[in-house]
Amino acid sequence: MTVQQARNGNRWNLNLVQHLSVQAEQEKQQLMQELNVYIVDQEEIDQLSWKWGLRGKFTVKTSYEAMASGPYIENCIAKIWKLTAPMRILIFGWLVIKNRILTTNNLTRKGWELPNICYLCRKEAESVRHLFHACNFSTLLRREITVKIPELNNCQFFQSGSFKAAILSSKLTMVRQMQLAFCFILWKERCRWLFQDKMKNIEAVGEEICQEYTSWNLLM
């Protein structure tokens, strides 16, 4: 398979890779999820970018910081620690970005025998991408929050962008903080429903996300 074959307009198309093992197919799906965050514009000229600096600019200071943190530190991982939230929630956000939270998808990949189903919509497998982006419940919840905070209405990094994309690319602190609050409370509610069999409606969960987000502003 060539790079040209793998390109499909502005997106990558890896569906040409077939006859994979279950493990390899899952890894392909995960790679697709990560690649879909990046849209390649063929009209745009390639440029060099320093991944540890603001807006891709090289500075001696960031090069020392990169050396101190290790050469392979990921930019978004470094950025997450700059958010204002309790440490346990920052660690949760780090786990989301690394796709390490215990969704049923991740558990079945580790060999657990579970029905791989999203507990919120009960329609699709529960992965990080599904839970926080594609799930119907998640979509309705984002809509509920934009009613409460209209500034988020036209913000692509809140409406459809992933937490990772928001951390990497959004210039608005509000969006980065809100994405973290969104993921954290949604996951908390998902676990509450799973382990305590109690359900809140979308309006109540939306209210809880806004309260969580507002409480972090007091830490600034």
> Which residues contact Zn ion by CB under 5 A?
118, 120-121, 135
What is the smallest separation between the CB atom of 127 and Zn ion, expressed in angstroms? 10
**Rounded CA separation 216/181 (Å):** 9
Angle among Cα 105, 128, 70 to the nearest 5 degrees reads 110
Distance in Å, CB of 118 to Zn ion, minimum: 3
Look up residue 154 and give its DSSP letter.
Answer: T
- Minimum Å gap between C-beta 131 and Zn ion is 6
Q: Which is nearer to Zn ion, 118 or 167 (CB)?
A: 118
Nearer to Zn ion, 135 or 180 (CB): 135
Residue 136: CB minimum distance to Zn ion, A:
6
Alpha-carbon dihedral sign for residues 149, 154, 156, 159:
positive
Q: Smallest distance, Å, CB 91 to Zn ion? A: 24
Nearer to Zn ion, 61 or 123 (CB): 123
Alpha carbon distance 209, 179 (integer Å)? 10
Nearest to 185 by CA among 116, 93, 80: 93
Backbone φ and ψ of 174, nearest 5° = -55, -40
* Closer CB to Zn ion, 170 or 189, in the complex: 189
Nearest to 152 by CA among 139, 165, 143: 143
By the 8 A CB rule, do 97 and 164 touch? yes
Of the pair 97, 135, the CB lying nearest Zn ion is at 135
